[in-house]
Amino acid sequence: MGIALPQRFYVVGAVAACLVIASHLIALGSAPPGLFSDEAGFGYNGWTISHYGTDQFGTHWPLFFRSSGDYKGPAGVYLEALLTAFLPLTPWVIRLPNAVAGIALAFAAGWLGWGLTRSFAVTLILVLEAAFEPWFFHLGRTMLETDLLTPLFYVLSLVALAAGGDRRLSSWLAAGIALGAACFTAQPARFFTPALLLIVVFAFRHTLRGARLAAIATPVVLAVIVLVIAGGAATARLGAVSVFAKDGIIGGAREAVWDYLQYQGPLLLFIRGDSNLRHSTGFEGLLFVTAAVPLVLGAVAAWRRRDEPLARIALLGTLIAPAAPSFAVGVSARRDVVVLPFLLLLLAYGWQALIPWLRARRIRTAIAVACVLAVAAPYYLDYALAYPTRAARSFESGGLDAIARAHDLADGHTVLVSQRLGPEDALVDLLPDPRLSDPLGSVGIHAMSSPGDLAAAQPGDLLVLTWADTPPPGSTLVFQEIADGPTSLTGETTRVVVISVYRR
């Protein structure tokens, strides 16, 4: 017999759903500002697949897509292909897959909260947490990788096993398919998904046997085999970013331990966030500081309920997930997306413990809401008013417009594009045929790969340069792409030059 839902739950749920959807889609193409070259790479490769059946280098239907110094995962590119088959290639469309994944993740988090607690309040709060905590919200508005597809598939696998789902073979198969699909999303999932499979098997070790074990393990094993066959494409740049590449075994191990502690520490999570403005806004942490209370309570509750499989998964996942990103140089919010499902589990347990205490006195609820608004309002004000200027250079704001305008002004001369921009912005702008031997050359563009290319520019050529490039002597400034606005909520209006176009 089902639980009767009060009418107000439907009203509040509908309002929350509309808020989640609108917040992820409105101004998606302009906030964050610009379009970083990684995002452009996903978009152009998706467009070439949908129109020509090749990647940007003319390879037919690849699994992994070679781009500037890296490989793009198949989930993101093929989603772009579906969209660009009938939509124009714009920044809004390019970012749409992650936005939709963010919306779906919020609803999946609520589903998980309901399966764990059967609480209307926990369900609603988890939807809002997964939609509006800075880590989730910001990643849902970029397309540097299909970052939110990874936690989405992980959460769906946990949903399948929650609330007695582990007693059904179909649930184990659904969980296995979700985990297998996760292997083809963001790069961290290629390494962590087998570890998550082992965590799930360990958590359900007393009941997981025979057909159920095969149902969850087979899709993951098949996905890993595909990744192994793909070889270097699946692990591109792994050696280059390894902590052992520069400092050796001892130094690398020391750096990995330090990175792990930072991933688990308050500075990254609640205070400063990721220093890379493409991954985080630089204002407050990856999570609001108010999330620390339910997270701590959730960890305590999960420990007390550690005999339950999902509580064990929450604890082990939170401890183990940041380990793999720790072996890459530097701390990155995008590499640690694999920890997000376990934070949602802890939040569910924490809010389940906290809500009865809050409901005991209305003043407690009022204070809790006021605290959340006090930390959330400044973050979103900063996101709207100051972050666009602060992040303009990080996202190459104005790059697409500058290349398009320079191409129109070239008058038969070559347009040289800075190596700091990469060729993908020009490809998205001009959409050349990828089957040609030199697609960009066919539309009068040369993507520079070294400073020597700049020195070799001919008289009359146009140079699209970033703020960090130095134009050759004798060049004439034609126009600039500028970001105007404050870089902080308390700062004055600043003029930031992002792109400059010169004529040689």
pLDDT band at 239 (very low <50, low <70, confident <90, very high): low
Which of residues 218 and 228 earns the better pLDDT score?
A: 218
Which of 390, 408, 441 represents a domain boundary (last residue)? 390
Return the closest-CA partner of residue 75 out of 221, 217, 192, 227.
227
Whether 496 and 389 have beta carbons less than 8 Å apart is answered as: yes
Between CA 396 and CA 418 the distance in angstroms is 11
- pLDDT value at position 231? 73
Residue type, 458: Q
On whether both 330 and 431 belong to a single domain, the answer is no
**DSSP reduced 3-state for 502:** strand
Q: Give the predicted TM-score (pTM) of the model.
A: 0.95
The residue written with tokens 């124009």 in the block is 88
**DSSP reduced 3-state for 437:** coil
On whether both 429 and 372 belong to a single domain, the answer is no
- pLDDT value at position 163? 87
Range with lowest mean pLDDT among 226-235, 305-314, 423-432 = 226-235
**DSSP reduced 3-state for 496:** strand
**DSSP reduced 3-state for 255:** helix
Mean pLDDT of 99-124: 96
On whether both 374 and 270 belong to a single domain, the answer is yes
- pLDDT value at position 1? 43
Whether 277 is covered by a domain: the verdict is: yes
On whether both 364 and 447 belong to a single domain, the answer is no
Whether 202 is covered by a domain: the verdict is: yes
Whether 240 has a pLDDT exceeding 70, the answer reads no
On whether both 367 and 428 belong to a single domain, the answer is no
pLDDT band at 268 (very low <50, low <70, confident <90, very high): very high
Beta pairing class for 493-503 and 462-466: antiparallel
On whether both 381 and 479 belong to a single domain, the answer is no
On whether both 155 and 273 belong to a single domain, the answer is yes
- Exposure of 11 by Cβ count < 10 A (0-12 exposed, 13-18 middle, 19+ buried)? exposed
Domain that holds residue 440: 399-503
Mean pLDDT of 401-405: 95
Whether 304 is covered by a domain: the verdict is: yes
Q: Considering the chain, what percentage of its residues have pLDDT values greater than 70?
A: 97
Whether 5 is covered by a domain: the verdict is: no
Total structural domains within the chain: 2
Dihedral pair phi/psi, residue 66, rounded to 5°:
-70, 130
Concatenate the DSSP letters of all residues of 265-313 into one string: SHIIIIIS--SSTTT--SSS-SS-GGGHHHHHHHHHHHHHTTTSHHHHH
Mean pLDDT of 414-434: 93
- Cα 419 to chain centroid distance, Å, stands at 24
Between CA 489 and CA 479 the distance in angstroms is 29
On whether both 415 and 484 belong to a single domain, the answer is yes
On whether both 337 and 405 belong to a single domain, the answer is no
Cβ-count burial 344-364 (b if 16+ within 10 Å, e if not): bbbbbbbbbbbbeebeeeeee
On whether both 176 and 230 belong to a single domain, the answer is yes
- Exposure of 474 by Cβ count < 10 A (0-12 exposed, 13-18 middle, 19+ buried)? exposed
On whether both 233 and 377 belong to a single domain, the answer is yes
Whether 4 is covered by a domain: the verdict is: no
Whether 11 is covered by a domain: the verdict is: no
Between CA 304 and CA 323 the distance in angstroms is 24
In Å, how far are 47, 234, 356, 448 from 427, measured between CA atoms? 10, 24, 55, 14
Which of 390, 414, 439 represents a domain boundary (last residue)? 390
Sheet with 462-466: list strands edge to edge: 445-447, 415-417, 462-466, 493-503, 476-486
Concatenate the DSSP letters of all residues of 446-466 into one string: EE--SHHHHHTPPTT-EEEEE
List the helix and strand counts (H, then E) for the chain.
22, 7
- If phi > 0 it is left, if psi is from -120 to 50 it is alpha, else beta; for residue 276 that is beta
Which of 390, 417, 448 represents a domain boundary (last residue)? 390
Q: Over the stretch 431-475, which tens digit does the pLDDT of each residue have?
A: 999 999 999 999 999 999 887 888 888 999 999 999 989 898 889
Instruction: Extract the tokens encoding 215.
Output: 């149902």
Q: Is the dihedral of CA 463, 469, 475, 480 positive or negative?
A: positive
Whether 39 and 142 have beta carbons less than 8 Å apart is answered as: yes
Q: Over the stretch 171-198, which tens digit does the pLDDT of each residue have?
A: 999 999 999 999 999 989 999 999 999 9
- pLDDT value at position 66? 84
Residue type, 470: T
On whether both 373 and 497 belong to a single domain, the answer is no
Whether 328 has a pLDDT exceeding 90, the answer reads no
Q: Considering the chain, what percentage of its residues have pLDDT values greater than 90?
A: 83
Whether 10 is covered by a domain: the verdict is: no
- pLDDT value at position 3? 58
Whether 7 is covered by a domain: the verdict is: no
Return the closest-CA partner of residue 141 out of 285, 263, 33.
33
pLDDT band at 7 (very low <50, low <70, confident <90, very high): confident
Rounded to the nearest 10 degrees, what angle do helices 169-182 and 187-203 cross at? Answer: 150
Q: Over the stretch 131-154, which tens digit does the pLDDT of each residue have?
A: 999 999 999 999 988 899 999 999
